[in-house]
Structure 1
Amino acid sequence: MKILFVYNNPKDEYAPDDDDVLTQLKATQSSAVELGHTTSSLAVSLNLEIFETELIKYNPDLVFNLVEALVGIESYMHFVPLIIEKNNINYTGCSSEALYLTTNKILAKKLMCSASIITPNWFTKNDPKEKIETLTNPFIIKPISADGSVGLDEDSVIRNPQNFYSELFRRSEKYGECFGEEYIDGREFNLSILEIDGKPKVMPVAEIVFNNYPQGKEKVIGYTSKWNSDSFEYNNTPRSFDFTELDSELILQLNKIAIQCWNLFKLSGYARVDFRVSNDGKIYVLEVNSNPCISPDAGFTAACEKAGLNYNSIIEHIIKAVIK
Structure 2
Amino acid sequence: ARLSRRAVLGAARIEHIRTLPLEKQRNLHVGIASNEFAGSDNPIEAELTSDAEKIAETLGERGYRTTFLDFNHPFEAVQQIQDEKVDIIFNLCERINHSGLLEPHAASLLDILQVPYTGSNPFTLSLCLDKIRVKKLFAFHHIPTPRWDYLYDRDEAFDENFPLPAIVKPANSDSSLGITNESVVESHAALKKRIAYVLEELKRPALIEEFIDGDEYDVSILGNWDDKQRVLPLSRSVFKGLPEGYWHMYPYEAKFLGSVVHKQGIEVQRPPRGVAGKLTSLISEIALDALNVVGCSDYGRVEVRVDKNGNPCVLEVNPNPSIGPTDCVPSVAALAGMNYGDFLEEILRLAIRRYRDRPPYYHLQMSTL
What TM-score, normalized to structure 1? 0.92
Which letter maps to 1:146? S
In the alignment, which residue of structure 2 is the partner of 1:308? 337
- 1:71 Cα deviation after fit: 2.5
In the alignment, which residue of structure 2 is the partner of 1:320? 349
Which letter maps to 1:131? F
Identity %: 26
- Please state if 1:259 is matched with 2:288: yes
Please give the alpha-carbon distance, in whole angstroms, between the structure 1 residues aligned to 2:342 and 2:229: 15
In the alignment, which residue of structure 2 is the partner of 1:290? 319
Please give the alpha-carbon distance, in whole angstroms, between the structure 1 residues aligned to 2:38 and 2:176: 16
Where does 1:16-55 land on structure 2 (aligned, <5 Å)? 16-45=43-72, 48-55=74-81
Q: Is the 8 A contact 2:150 2:158 kept in 1?
A: no
In the alignment, which residue of structure 1 is the partner of 2:190? 163
- Please state if 1:192 is matched with 2:223: no
Where does 1:144-293 land on structure 2 (aligned, <5 Å)? 144-177=171-204, 178-195=206-223, 198-243=227-272, 247-293=276-322
Partner secondary structure for residue 80 of structure 1? helix
Which letter maps to 1:224? E
Q: Can you list the C-alpha shifts for 1:278-310, whole angstroms capped at 9, x where unaligned?
A: 112221100100120001111112111111210
Q: Can you list the C-alpha shifts for 1:48-68, whole angstroms capped at 9, x where unaligned?
A: 444434433333110111111
Alignment: residue pair count: 323
- 1:114 Cα deviation after fit: 1.1
Question: Which runs of 5 or more residues in structure 1 are unaligned?
Answer: none
Q: Highest CA radius of gyration, 1 or 2?
A: 2
Out of 88, 108, 114, the residue aligned to residue 114 of structure 2 is 88
Partner secondary structure for residue 322 of structure 1? helix
- 1:235 Cα deviation after fit: 2.4
User: Structure 2 vs 1, CA of residues 164 and 245 (structure 1 numbering), >3 Å: closer, same or farther?
Assistant: closer
Q: Is the 8 A contact 2:216 2:303 kept in 1?
A: yes
RMSD: 2.2
Please give the alpha-carbon distance, in whole angstroms, between the structure 1 residues aligned to 2:259 and 2:79: 44
Please give the alpha-carbon distance, in whole angstroms, between the structure 2 residues aligned to 1:70 and 1:173: 24
User: Structure 2 vs 1, CA of residues 103 and 110 (structure 1 numbering), >3 Å: closer, same or farther?
Assistant: same
- 1:248 Cα deviation after fit: 1.4
Partner secondary structure for residue 111 of structure 2? helix
Please give the alpha-carbon distance, in whole angstroms, between the structure 1 residues aligned to 2:80 and 2:203: 31
Deviates more, 1:233-242 or 1:155-164: 233-242
Q: Is the 8 A contact 1:12 1:18 kept in 2?
A: no
In the alignment, which residue of structure 2 is the partner of 1:72? 98
Partner secondary structure for residue 5 of structure 1? strand
Deviates more, 1:12-21 or 1:194-203: 194-203
Please give the alpha-carbon distance, in whole angstroms, between the structure 2 residues aligned to 1:80 and 1:246: 40
